[in-house]
């Protein structure tokens, strides 16, 4: 296969679940030599994985990184910060396509593990949309459960926490996010006990988020003080997790000096969190898709005292849309809104003069109509046929700046349109 054919093959894989045995059967023997760090959770997986991979790189450890997303798979599998070797990636595609097709999450993880094994990686950090897949990876001395909260669908946070805890295994160290809800933390403590896995929770009292300028970000955790490419107070928690994961790996025998932790945290390029594309005019991209992430985004904008923006929201599905819109309007998660009765639509001072909604091409007309009504309940909203149309309208009507959010696909496509326009 060519790299284009390989990417097309992985993009065509079906949704679904694979058993541990099916995934293990797809992995070459070389994978057994790789030690994995699995990263599960609702929000922050990509950021935490990127921060840890940068620390490992600074420490001189031959490490791989895989994250989920909308870009071609070959761009999301990296070894020592560089895209996966084309030859190895195509070999992985050839090997996997010769067998019964795996579902997309399992297929992508299998391809990443194949590349890491054949590249001789010592460690590999892998984002796990399905935490249960962790059981198929041969060695996982350290793992992570990032922030767990409502994903906009019907599952409870307790159920989401139990699913994320599938990353744990016997004798491993699991680092979780600071300030998890009591319900989530209780589930994780029980799961860690059952798995005989040590659970590490960063102390929120040791975390300080410092802001030097409007969109500058600096965090201190236990004496590790560095500037970050990630904006928002949630960035402090992600950085704290990366520090604790590094310290956990040290306990497992890896040499990661303090200098490497500081250098790695400061070196990460912001690709999927809140990204300031331009200051004048202000253009912000955010791949947020959950109510938690939407609330965090609005808090950042409010801290920066941003007002009179146009927003483009590119949602990929209807499920969870109401919770997303509500969080983006109020800056509160669904749990916080239950406690705060001042969050009725129209009662909050949000920065958006106008919202342009973009729905998936070829989507159901009735679904599009329902999404539009939900958006209009919270904002002065207008439906656009394409993202290109929304960008042009937003540019023509904005007073102060532009925000694009709602999905990684919308953020990535908008970045190309804005940079070329």
The pLDDT assigned to 346 comes to 44
Choosing among 3.90.190.20, 3.90.470.20, 3.40.1710.10, 2.40.50.140, the CATH entry for 275-420 is: 3.90.190.20
- Would you kindly state where each structural domain of the chain is located, as residue ranges? 3-267, 275-420
Coil, strand, or helix at residue 123? Answer: strand
Instruction: Give me 359's structure tokens.
Output: 């729905």
Tens-digit pLDDT string for the chain (421 aa): 899 999 999 999 999 988 999 999 999 999 999 999 999 998 889 999 999 999 999 999 999 999 998 889 999 999 999 999 999 999 999 999 999 999 999 999 999 999 999 999 999 999 999 999 999 999 999 999 999 987 655 568 899 999 999 999 999 999 999 989 899 999 999 999 999 999 999 998 898 877 655 666 788 898 898 887 767 777 888 999 999 999 999 999 999 999 999 999 988 876 556 788 888 888 888 888 888 888 888 888 887 788 889 999 998 788 888 989 999 998 887 777 776 655 544 445 689 999 999 988 777 888 899 999 999 999 999 999 999 999 999 888 776 789 999 888 888 888 888 877 6
Cα atoms in the Cβ-side hemisphere of radius 13 Å centred on 13: 28
Query: How many whole angstroms separate alpha carbon 174 and alpha carbon 186?
Result: 14
Q: What's the confidence (pLDDT) of residue 233? A: 73
Q: Among candidates 394, 402, 420, 415, which has minimal Cα distance to 279?
A: 402
Q: What is the pLDDT of residue 9?
A: 96
Residue 112 has a pLDDT of: 98
> What pLDDT is attached to residue 154?
52
Q: What percent helix, strand, coil does the chain show, rounded to 5? A: 45, 20, 35
Closest among 148, 204, 187, 144 to 168, alpha carbons compared: 144
d(CA 374, CA 333) in angstroms, rounded, equals: 17
Name the CA radius of gyration of the chain, rounded: 21
Task: Report whether 315 contacts 249 (CB < 8 A).
Answer: no
What does the alpha-carbon distance between residue 296 and residue 327 come to, in Å, rounded to a whole number?
9
Strand 123-127, strand 63-66: pairing: parallel
pLDDT value for 152 = 55
Residue 103: the pLDDT is: 95
Instruction: Estimate to the nearest angstrom the gap between the alpha carbon of 221 and the chain centroid.
Output: 21
Q: What is the DSSP string of 44-97?
A: SHHHHHHHHHHHHHHTT--EEEE--SSS-HHHHEEETTEEPPHHHHHHHHHHHH
Structure tokens at 70: 């909308």
Report whether 167 contacts 145 (CB < 8 A): yes
What pLDDT shows up at residue 150? 72
Strand partners, 403: 284, 311
CA distance 124 to 375: 40
- pLDDT of res. 347: 46
**Domain covering 3-267: architecture:** 3-Layer(aba) Sandwich (3.40)
The pLDDT of residue 345: 47
d(CA 239, CA 77): 22
pLDDT score recorded for residue 185:
95
The answer to whether 92 and 30 are in contact (CB under 8 A) is no
Burial 134-164 (b: 16+ CB within 10 A, else e): bbbbeebbbbbbbbbbbbbeeeebeebbbbb
């Amino acid at each position: 296969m060519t790299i284009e054919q390989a990417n097309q093959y992985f993009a065509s894989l079906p949704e679904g679940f694979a058993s541990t045995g099916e995934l293990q059967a797809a992995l070459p023997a070389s994978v057994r030599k790789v030690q994995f760090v699995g990263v599960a959770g609702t929000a922050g997986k990509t950021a935490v994985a990127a921060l840890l991979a940068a620390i490992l790189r600074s420490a001189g450890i031959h490490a791989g990184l895989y994250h989920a997303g909308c870009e071609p798979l070959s761009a999301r599998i990296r070894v020592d910060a560089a895209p996966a070797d084309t030859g190895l990636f195509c070999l992985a595609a050839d090997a996997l396509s010769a067998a019964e097709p795996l579902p997309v999450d399992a297929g992508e993880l299998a391809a990443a593990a194949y590349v890491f094994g054949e590249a001789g990686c010592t460690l590999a950090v892998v984002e796990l949309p399905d935490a249960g897949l962790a059981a198929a990876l041969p060695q996982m001395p350290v793992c992570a459960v990032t922030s767990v909260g409502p994903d906009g669908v019907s599952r409870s946070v307790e159920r989401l926490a139990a699913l994320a805890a599938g990353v744990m295994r016997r004798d491993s160290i699991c680092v979780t996010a600071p300030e998890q809800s009591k319900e989530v933390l209780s589930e994780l403590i029980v799961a860690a006990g059952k798995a005989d896995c040590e659970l590490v929770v960063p102390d929120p009292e040791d975390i300080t988020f410092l802001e030097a300028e409007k969109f500058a970000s600096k965090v201190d955790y236990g004496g590790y003080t560095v500037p970050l490419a990630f904006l928002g107070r949630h960035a402090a928690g992600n950085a704290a997790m990366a520090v604790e994961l590094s310290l956990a790996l040290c306990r497992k025998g890896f040499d990661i000096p303090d200098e490497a932790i500081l250098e790695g945290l400061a070196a990460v390029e912001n690709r999927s969190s809140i990204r300031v594309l331009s200051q004048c005019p202000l253009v912000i991209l955010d791949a947020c898709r959950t109510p938690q992430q939407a609330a965090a985004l609005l808090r950042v904008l409010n801290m920066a005292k941003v007002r009179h923006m146009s927003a483009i929201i590119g949602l990929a599905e209807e499920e969870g849309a109401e919770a997303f819109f509500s969080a983006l309007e109020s800056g509160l998660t669904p749990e916080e809104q239950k406690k705060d009765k001042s969050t009725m639509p129209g009662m909050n001072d949000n920065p958006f003069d106008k919202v342009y909604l973009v729905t998936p091409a070829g989507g159901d007309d009735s679904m599009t109509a329902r999404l539009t009504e939900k958006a209009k309940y919270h904002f002065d909203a207008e439906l656009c046929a394409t993202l290109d149309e929304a960008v042009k309208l937003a540019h023509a009507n904005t007073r102060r700046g532009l925000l694009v959010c709602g999905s990684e696909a919308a953020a990535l496509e908008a970045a190309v349109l804005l940079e070329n326009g």
